[in-house]
Amino acid sequence: MKRLVTATSILLIMMTALSFAQQRGPKAFVPEPSFDMGYIPQRAKYGHTFWIYNIGTDSLNIQNIQVSCGCTKASNSVGMVAVNDSVPISIVFDSGTRKLSQNKRITVRTNDPGMGNLSLQFTAYVFTPEEEEKTGPVSFVNNKRVNATTDDLGKTFEVEFRNNSAAAIKPTLVRYPDDLVSVTLPAEETPPGGTSTIKVVLASSVEEKNQHRSITLQFNDANNSRYTIPVRLAESISSMKANTGS
């Protein structure tokens, strides 16, 4: 499965490939083996995708994928990866009633003779409803979770946040599922105590009707605080009836 990557990622892959030029056989490379989700609320599911590239001279075999916690599910991306090809490892994390800092690992066993097991990880800070106003520089006051059905395809969701800090603040996009949503951020900084709106537009059509994905933002406060907004798409009852002919 091939994937379009940014110029920076391409350069990184090329430099890594050159550094392993003497190694024959399969060679696994993960441009981003760890990911910080930042602040997340309880009782939601968050998605993230890691990409594994084969920069070796022979097929890479993804033999097994294990997670460190029952709260995390990983896609079953086992199988062969051709030379110069890549495969996604998609994970879904259920925050449930967990609290405070979370550090979860995914172990991927391969036939790479120089590495064997790949270690992927993601971190997050789970806050309770009572802590939200005190955790980080902002709080989300509308659509802190984007829950949609296939009847909502093409619809715009307005995610509103309040600036709880003492300085003007502005978000940037770290990661979002561009095959599912488009995201428009506020054009101006949000003043202290002010609110701003992020527009999330669902795609007009999707291949997978049930999925858990995420939008990760980073704010320009002193700590470069991150927040991840869960995006859940579920097949609507009307769609299910249409598919079954009932």
The answer to whether residue 246 is domain-embedded is no
Instruction: Say which CATH number the domain at 96 has.
Output: 2.60.40.10
One domain, residues 73 and 143: no
Under DSSP, the state recorded for 191 is P
Domain-embedded: residue 68: yes
Within a domain: residue 180? yes
- List per-residue pLDDT tens for the chain, 246 residues long: 334 445 555 555 555 555 545 568 999 999 999 999 999 999 999 999 999 999 999 999 999 999 988 999 998 888 999 999 999 999 999 999 999 999 999 999 999 998 879 999 999 999 998 888 888 999 999 999 999 999 999 999 999 999 999 999 999 999 999 999 999 999 999 999 999 999 999 999 999 999 999 999 999 999 999 999 999 999 988 666 556 555
Asked if residue 234 belongs to a domain, the reply is yes
Q: What are phi and psi of 66, to 5 degrees?
A: -125, 145
pTM of the model: 0.85
User: Are 107 and 14 members of one domain?
Assistant: yes
- Spatial contact of 146 and 41, defined as CB atoms under 8 Å apart: no
- For every residue of 72-128, DSSP letters joined together read EEE----EEE-TT-EEEEEEEEE-TT--EEEEEEEEEEE--TTT-EEEEEEEEEEE-
Residue 1 lies in a domain: no
Residues 118 and 227 in one domain: no
Pair 141, 94 in one domain: no
Same domain as 117, residue 40: yes
Query: Are 11 and 117 in the same domain?
Result: yes
Say if residue 152 is in the same domain as residue 207.
yes
- What residues make up the domain containing 56? 7-127
Pairing relationship of beta strands 60-67 and 100-110 according to DSSP bridges: antiparallel
Rounded to whole angstroms, how far apart are CA atoms 64 and 42?
29
Residue where a domain terminates, one of 104, 127, 150: 127
Give the residue from 127, 151, 169 where a domain finishes. 127
94 falls within a domain: yes
- Residue 163 and residue 156: Cα distance in Å, rounded? 22
User: Does residue 175 share a domain with residue 104?
Assistant: no
Of the residues 127, 153, 168, the one at which a domain ends: 127
- Indicate whether 153 belongs to any domain: yes
Residues in a beta bridge with 73:
92
Instruction: Say whether 14 sits in a helix, a strand or coil.
Output: helix
- Do 62 and 154 lie in a common domain? no
Same domain, 161 and 217: yes
Q: What is the pLDDT of residue 132?
A: 83
Q: Are residues 104 and 53 in the same domain?
A: yes
Q: Measuring CA to CA, which residue among 187, 185, 186, 180 is closest to residue 155?
A: 180
Same domain, 46 and 88: yes
Q: What is the pLDDT of residues 175-218, one digit of tens each?
A: 999 999 999 999 999 999 999 999 999 999 999 999 999 999 99
Nearest alpha carbon to residue 86 among 180, 16, 181: 16
In-domain check, residue 216: yes
State pLDDT tens for residues 162-183: 999 999 999 999 999 999 999 9
Domains: count for the chain:
2
Q: Which helix (H) or strand (E) holds 202?
A: strand 195-202
The residue among 42, 162, 58, 175 whose CA lies nearest residue 110 is 58
